[in-house]
Amino acid sequence: MAIDKIINFLTSIRLTVVCLALAMILVFIGTLAQVDKGIFIVQKEFFQSLIVISDLRVFNYRIPIVFPGGYLIGLVLLLNLVASFIKQFSLQAKRIGLMLTHVGLLVLLIGQLFIDQFHTESNMRLIEGQSLNYSESYNRCELAFIKTSDPQFDTVVAIPESHLYKGNIIRNPHMPFQVKIHEYHPNSRLENLPQGSANAASTLGAGRSIRVLPMPLETKTDTRNAPSAIIEIIGDNVPAGTWLASFFLDQPQVFTVGNERWTFVLRPERYYKPYYITLIDFTHEKYPGTDIPKNFSSRVKITNPQSGEEREVLIYMNNPLRYGGETYYQGSFDPNDDRVSILQVVRNPAWTTPYIACVLVGVGMVIHFVTNLGVFVSEQRKK
């Protein structure tokens, strides 16, 4: 019967072995692929996908790879685990250890497959004395339009990078104009030009004396891409022409819409928070006579206007600050400026799942192996 066959297949240990073997091969190829593509891309293409359609660079050859992706293998393993669990559920003492182990694995897989989506990482670069109420994304950017004419408030419309592709026209009720993307380069380089050159990126703003050159995407861990876009602002009372928005141009460019004053800038995507972090003091200890880092620590002050909180706290290696649903780690520093501290900010609502999973698996394994070892040793004694 077909149903029986399917059930047999889903609950078979053979399926487990095959899936584990595929997982092992996937992890191995993924590790090799990182050398060329960088962890971020490999994570997306190999581990967080259903099918891997990619390539692997071996010496100077590119070998195409088509393979089941991490999510697919994970899902099949999950089905296999749940199916066998249902079939073999037993509260017998000698099976409890194994049961517990596999429940733990279930929690781990579910956590990683589904809840992992909500994990975000960003960073906060502070110089001593500076306060910030936002952190910045490592690899995503946003094109932000800011109305600065009102003395009390700024209106910010932040367009995420995913909307910045050639030909797209962006409309938003808060913007009395439309933004058309003429060109978009996910990674780029800029060159200065004499004004009026034919190769100038745009007809208005800073882009008049700059040339944009597209670049291949960065693959090394600590480097980020620097996108650039050529945009046109369309509407009544808006100057006609194109502008250059670039990651390198961190000074906002100004334009007027009638009697409203607007600026725009292409910057790392911001995650705003309802509180401020101020860096009071950053210390960077090195081992005497060397450049080897011994200890970093940042003394920060949290100022929360909503809750009225105002307190100082020390963040250092292996000792993060957990606040507001986010965790602040001592991430890094600026080798050229001793007063700069870079905090890593992580939001991960599912951070407890790996801990729970691992306790379950660990306890389960210990129970199982201890009871088995007991049996084995007593059998040997009888001989």
Partner 1 sequence: MKKFIPFILLGVFGLWALNSLRPPAPKNGFDFAAFGSLPALLNGRIQPLDSVARNCLLQIRSRATVRYPIEQSSEPQNVAKTEKFETMLPVEWLAEVLFNPAKADERRIFVVDHPELLSLLKLSEGKQFLSFNQLRPHFPEIDRQAERAMKIEPARRTTFEKQVVKLYTGLVVFQRLKNSMFPEDYGNFTNALSDLRNVLAPGVEAFRASQAKKEFNQNDLNRLVMAMQKWDVVARSAYPRLIPSDKNQHSSESWHSPGESVLHLVHDPTATLPKPVQLFAAMSAAYLQNNPEEFNKTVSEYESWLASSYSEELSKAKRESLFNNFAPFAKAREIYIFAFLLACFSLFNLTDWVRRSSLYLLALAFVLHTVGILFRMSIEGRPPVTNLYSSVVFVGWVVVLIGLYVEKKFPFGISILVASIGGFATQIVAHYLSLSGDTMEVLRAVLDTNFWLATHVVTIAMGYGAVYFAGLFAVIYIILGVFTKRLTPDLARLLNRIVYGIMCFAILFSFLGTVLGGIWADQSWGRFWGWDPKENGALIIVLWTAIYLHARWGKLVSERGLMNMAVFGNVVTSWSWFGVNMLGVGLHSYGFMDTAAFWLLVFICSQLAIIGIGSLPLKHWKSFAHQEIIDESVEAAKTTA
For partner 1, the binding residues (CB under 8 A) are 12-14, 16-17, 20-21, 23-24, 27-28, 30-32, 34-35, 38-39, 42-43, 47, 112, 119, 121, 221, 286-290, 292-296, 317-320, 327, 329, 331, 344-346, 348, 351, 354-355, 358, 361-362, 365-366, 369, 372-373, 376, 380
Closest to partner 1 by CB, 11 vs 246, is 11
Closest to partner 1 by CB, 160 vs 293, is 293
Closest contact distance (angstroms) between CB of 319 and partner 1 is 8
Closest to partner 1 by CB, 199 vs 372, is 372
Task: For residues 83 and 146, give the distance between their C-alpha atoms in angstroms, rounded to a whole number.
Answer: 54
Closest to partner 1 by CB, 32 vs 234, is 32
Closest contact distance (angstroms) between CB of 253 and partner 1 is 35
Residue 352 CB neighbours (<10 A): 12
Closest contact distance (angstroms) between CB of 290 and partner 1 is 4
Structure tokens at 324: 């507001």
Cβ atoms of 86 and 13 closer than 8 Å = no
Closest to partner 1 by CB, 243 vs 333, is 333
Closest contact distance (angstroms) between CB of 164 and partner 1 is 27
Cβ atoms of 73 and 22 closer than 8 Å = yes
Closest contact distance (angstroms) between CB of 349 and partner 1 is 13
Closest contact distance (angstroms) between CB of 99 and partner 1 is 14
Closest to partner 1 by CB, 116 vs 260, is 116
Closest contact distance (angstroms) between CB of 215 and partner 1 is 20
Closest to partner 1 by CB, 185 vs 368, is 368
Closest contact distance (angstroms) between CB of 286 and partner 1 is 8
Closest contact distance (angstroms) between CB of 23 and partner 1 is 6
Cβ atoms of 267 and 144 closer than 8 Å = yes
Closest to partner 1 by CB, 39 vs 132, is 39
Closest to partner 1 by CB, 17 vs 254, is 17
